Amino acid sequence: MKKFLVPVIIFCGLIILSGCSPRPTRIMALYSYHPEYLWVQEEASGLEAALQQQSVEIEQFYLDTKRNPSAEWQRSIFAQALTKIGEYRPDIMVVFDDNACQFVSENIDDLPMPVVFAGMNDNPEDYGFPAPNVTGVLERIHLLNSIAFLRELSPNLKNNYLISDDSPTSRKIFKRFTQTELESVFNEIVLTNDFELWQQKIRSWQKQDAALGILLYHTLASTGNGQSIPSEEVIKWTLKYNRLPEWAVFDFVIQDGVLCGEIISGYEQGKVAGDIVAEIIRGRKPAEIPMITPETGEKVINLSRAEALGLNLNPALLEKYGK
C-alpha cells in the first residue's frame, strides 16, 4: 500500500501547483483602423512576435476610423472601447496610431494600467504625454530620405510631385514640415479625397525628368456619387496610368506595387511596442522607459515595378535593394 503513497502525493501536488500558477498577462490591443488593413495586420504580427516568449493573452479591438472618419462614429466607438476595457480588465494596453492615442488622451483617468502606444504621427504633447503610465513608439516617416534614394537610383530627375488622400493621418504627417521646406522639394503637392481630381493630377504630371511620391490613398471617393473608392482600385488605376518613377514611405505602398522608398513598417512599430511591453512585464514602469523614434527605415526597390516602367536605373542599387 505504501508504494502508491508517493505517486499520489506527487499527483496531488501537481494539481495544487497547476491551480496556483500565475495567469497570463492580459494585453488589450486597440487599433485605430480595421483588421483588413495591411498596416494593422503588420502591427499585430510585430506585437505577437515580440511577445512570443511571454505568457500573455491578447484581446483585440478595432476603432475602424479609417473607413468611418466622422466625429459621431468616433464618439460611439470610443464608448464601446471603454466598455470593452472595463469588461476585459487588461493588465497592459497597447494602442496603435493616432486615433487610439486620442482615445487614451480623452480617457486617461479611466486607464490606470500601463499604456504603450505605437504609430503616433502627432507630437506626444498633443495627447498630454508623457504621462506616468504611458510610453511608446513614435512614427516618423523618412520622406526626404525616400526622395534622396530615388534620385540616387535615377539621377536625372528634376521635378517632384506628391499626392495623398486628405485624411487625418496625411494632414498630421505634413504638419511636421514647414511650407518653405515643402516648396523647396516639390513642384506641387495635392491632398484630396476626390478620385476624379486624383486622376486628373496624375495625368497632368506625366512629364519627362519627373518623379511621383504616393503617400496614402485610403479615403478617396467619387465626385459624382460620393461613393468610397477601395484603396486597391485607387492604386491599381494609378500604377496603370503613371509612367513616372514613384517613391513611397510605407512598406504596404511598395507591396501594392510602387517603385521604391526608404520605408517604415507596421511590423517594426508593433515589434518595438511589444519589446516595451515585455520590459513592463519584467517589472519596469512606463515612466522609466523613454519614448522611441526609429531613426532610419529600410531601403527597398520593387523589381517588378522597375521592369514594368522600363527605366534606366542604377544597376548596383537594383541588385542591393531589389525585392
Q: What is the DSSP string of 156-183?
A: T--EEEEEE---HHHHHHHTTS-HHHHH
Distance in angstroms between the alpha carbons of the first and the last residue of the chain = 70
Q: What is the pLDDT of residue 5?
A: 47
Q: Where are the domains of the chain?
A: 25-139+267-292, 143-263+299-321
Write down the pLDDT at residue 21.
Answer: 58
Residue identified by cell 521646406 is: 181
Mean pLDDT of the chain: 91
Query: Which of the residue ranges 22-31, 70-79, 113-122, 175-184 would you say has the lowest mean pLDDT?
Result: 175-184
pTM of the model: 0.80
Q: What is the pLDDT of residues 14-53, one digit of tens each?
A: 444 444 557 899 999 999 999 999 999 999 999 999 999 9
For 205-243, the pLDDT digits (tens) are 998 789 999 999 999 998 877 889 999 999 999 999 999
Range scoring the smallest mean pLDDT among 5-14, 192-201, 300-309: 5-14
* Multiple choice CATH, 25-139+267-292, 3.40.50.300, 3.40.50.720, 1.10.150.120, 3.40.50.2300: 3.40.50.2300
Half-sphere CA count of 265, side-chain side, radius 13 A: 17
User: 302, exposed or middle or buried, with CB in 10 Å at 0-12, 13-18, 19+?
Assistant: buried
Mean local confidence (pLDDT), 158-173: 93
Compare 104 and 296 and report the one with higher pLDDT. 104
- Please compute the mean of the pLDDT values over residues 96-110 and round it to a whole number: 96
Do the domains spanning 25-139+267-292 and 143-263+299-321 agree at the CATH topology level? yes
Domain 143-263+299-321 top-level CATH class:
alpha beta
